[in-house]
Structure 1
Amino acid sequence: MTPRRVVLVTGLSGAGRSSILRVLEDLGYEAVDNPPLTLTEELVSRGDRPVAIGVDARSRGFDADIVLSTLERLRLNQGLRPELVFAYADEAALLRRFTETRRRHPLAPGGRVVDGIAQEMALTAPLREVADLVIDTSDTPLPALRRQIESRFASDRLGVTVSLMSFGYPHGLPREADLVFDARFLRNPHYDPYLRPKTGLDEEVAAYVEADPDFAIFFGQIEAMLRLLLPRFAQEGKKYVTIAVGCTGGRHRSVRIVEKLASHMRSLCLGNTGLDMRAWQVTVAHRELLKAGVVNASPPETISFQAQEA
């Protein structure tokens, strides 16, 4: 019998916790927001649907230690598969969101928003440290957040979800990344006036990047590393791997490498590992292009890895 999923969603006010709950509800989860903590286990015991429960500093009786002890008791039940998701955003992003919505911070209703943010960060720090998934929404558009939640919680797949992401270094490393590759040493299309306004999704940019004499070597070494690491991740029970490729602007070189990786994932021979690789999934996201409003037309793709005979 497959354990029933129970997702506790917590995090900072304004960081997207409610949006995550709505996505989970759309996926068929029974979603309950901010119930008294003492009722959490009773709510989980009812029904047979997967459950998503929102918990934050506004919850009656909120205490990080109580949340953690509740989570530990749920994990003792072999019929359940509990996970803790923490929604985070940096102070600048939270301040901007509270300013745009003109809302008061729930922990500082009569004071400064920045003080409420600091207080909430301190209160929830123990939860962030042990969360199964920390989602940094500082620069994440809602469609990208939805795809991230769907790829992890839509169903119980046999294999691993591999998330490929391009990004620009000046905007910070993706906090969710398991592996990061730096493409800044490749020649930069930004300095070509014709290529500058284009992106790594365009054929001209792709050809320019791949014409670098070191591109083929670099790309081949990335593939070789993935052939080694992905089966080992799966053997250790890891279900989600985020592979990030960065360049200076996050528009040209990293985008091209991520697109090429996505197209090559199907042909990667991962060796005779004894793993069932029929339901591995790959998703693609271009962080800086999403922020700039460039449409990312690469939907999640279910791929089949063929094990190589020894």
Structure 2
Amino acid sequence: MDDVRLVIITGMSGAGKTQVVRTMEDLGYFCVDNLPPMLIPKFAELCTQSAGRVNKVGLVVDIRGREFFDTLIQALEDLEKQGYRYEMLFLEASDETLIRRYKETRRRHPMAPHGRIIEGISREREKIDHVRGRATQIIDTSELSTAKLREKITGLFTSEHEQQRMNITVVSFGFKYGIPLDADMVFDVRFLPNPFYVESLRRKSGAVAEVGEYIWKWPITQQFMEQVSGFVDFLVPNYIKEGKSQLIIAIGCTGGMHRSVFVAGKIYEGLKNKGYKVNVDHRDIKHNVLEAPVEG
């Protein structure tokens, strides 16, 4: 199973397994929650037969499985006998932290549905202590924020190459048609010189060379591009480090025809030249083709 990365996620209830699963799904892992341990070897076999379609897997196995959880060690031994490699991530937290989290969410502890939370925590620690010794990674989430836990998981379960594969989309748009709802950051370029007022350029988009030359010749455009490029160059690596899987950069002008198209293209080229996985989408050019040209 060298071509499949299998991560078994377990640990204390309330220690952050749900957040780990969400992060790993964003990283491209196929995750299954609360899988009976006896099914793990069969699931591993199915993954190896998927012809590479399933090559990163996260399986959550914890005390919710009740009596099934007791078979986890046997399932792991069966995996090893069959030659499958796996990693085990064990999440834990202090009693104080777990109690606080249960009180905040008003949930019952699975080991003490009708009793005190601390009693459930104590029983669970005793029950899963033997599993902890098999973990390849142990994370204490007591002092970790959601963002820090996400960053830690991203670092552990993606290669350096994979961490550089955040999907970036640069979108040009016209404020006339509304700001893209999924934008992570928005730049308003309506202050740049407008080709709309040059008769020979009015009906041509910002993707046309002569329109781009007109916009670029002004010092304010060059100064802006220097500033925004530095800003984006600073942000993107930090978003990747934080574990963000998708980034939408929106560039807006009045109609989405000239200035936003040109600037979006320049940002796209800069990111592409740095090796990022990036796409460009000129959202509102179609409006300007179907209608009379609007100020852009």
Relative to the length of structure 2, the TM-score reads 0.50
Which of 70, 74, 78 is 2:75 aligned to? 70
Structure 1 residue 106 corresponds to structure 2 residue 110 = yes
The alignment partner of 2:6 has SS state of strand
Q: Which runs of 4+ in 1 moved over 4 A?
A: none
Out of 40, 49, 64, the position equivalent to 1:58 is: 64
Q: SS at the partner of 1:13?
A: coil
| Greater relative CO (CA pairs within 8 A, separation 6+) | 2
Change (3 A) 1:3 1:156: farther
CA distance in 2, matches of 1:63, 1:86: 14
State whether residues 7 and 59 of structure 2, in contact with CA within 8 Å, keep that contact through their aligned partners in structure 1: yes
Where structure 2 has 5 or more consecutive residues not aligned to the other structure, the ranges are: 163-237, 243-296
Q: Does the C-alpha gap of structure 1 residues 118 and 41 become closer, same or farther in structure 2, counting only changes over 3 Å? A: same
Q: Larger helix proportion, structure 1 or 2? A: 2
Alpha-carbon distance in 2 for matches of 1:127, 1:138: 20
| CA distance in structure 2 between the partners assigned to 1:126 and 1:156 by the alignment | 33
Alignment-derived partner of residue 5 in structure 1: 5
**Which residue of the partner structure matches residue 43 of structure 2?**
43
Q: 1:52 to 1:298 in 2, by over 3 A?
A: closer
Please tell me whether the aligned partners of residues 33 and 54 of structure 1 are also in contact (alpha carbons under 8 angstroms).
Answer: yes
Structure 1 contact 98–105 (Cα < 8 Å) conserved: yes
Report matched runs for 1:82-121 at 5 Å: 82-121=86-125
- Which residues of 2 match residues 1-310 of structure 1 at below 5 A? 2-46=2-46, 47=50, 48-64=54-70, 66-78=71-83, 80-155=84-159, 300=241
Residue correspondences, number: 162
Q: 3-state DSSP class of the match of 1:61? A: helix
1:25 positional shift: 1.4
Distance in 1, Cα, partners of 2:161 & 2:138: 21
Contact 1:37–1:61 at 8 Å: present in 2 too? no
TM-score of the aligned structures, taking structure 1 as reference length: 0.48
1:80-102, Cα deviation, whole Å (9 max, x unpaired) = 43011101000000000011111
Amino acid across the alignment from 2:101: R
- Equivalent position amino acid for 1:13 in 2: S
Can you give the 5+ residue segments of structure 1 that lack an aligned partner in the other structure? 159-296, 302-310
Pair member with larger Rg? 2
Counterpart-to-counterpart distance in 2, 1:59 and 1:91: 22
CA contact (8 A) 2:38 2:68 kept: no
What is the CA RMSD across the aligned residues, in angstroms? Answer: 2.6
* Aligned-partner SS, 1:107: coil
